[in-house]
Structure 1
Amino acid sequence: MNGSGKDDKQRNRVIAKNEAERQTTGDIRVSAWTIVFAIIVGAIAVYIVWAWLHR
């Protein structure tokens, strides 16, 4: 294989690694928003149940 082919493979590996890191960061960000949303929905549900029981 010539030098250009090896350079292309190395470049593609670096690009793939960067994309994987970017994907992981995006997944973590989505998970954090999902957790926050679930906590808010849970708090609203608890408040509604508490208000219903103490009316």
Structure 2
Amino acid sequence: MNEPEQTEKERNREIAQNERERAADSAVRLSSWAIGVAVILGLIALGFAWPWLRR
């Protein structure tokens, strides 16, 4: 394999690694938002159900 092809492969590997890291960060961020929204919706539902549960 000649030098330009090797350099191109190394560059592509680095780009792929960066994309994997970016995707992982995005997944964590999305999961955090989903958990936060679920907790807030649960608290709202509990607030509406609390008077009915207390009677």
Q: Identify whether the pair has TM-score above 0.5, normalized to the shorter chain.
A: yes
Please report the RMSD computed on the Cα atoms of aligned residues, expressed in angstroms.
1.1
| Structure 2 equivalent of residue 53 of structure 1 | 53
**Percentage identity across paired residues of the two chains:** 45
Alignment partners' CA distance in 1, 2:53 and 2:12: 61
Pair 1:9-2:9 in alignment: yes
Unaligned runs of 5+ in 2: none
| Structure 2 equivalent of residue 35 of structure 1 | 35
- Render the CA deviation track for 1:5-44: whole Å, top value 9, x for unaligned: 0000000000000000000000000000000000000001
Q: Which amino acid is the alignment partner of residue 5 of structure 1? A: E
Deviation at 1:52, TM superposition (A): 2.5
Unaligned runs of 5+ in 1: none
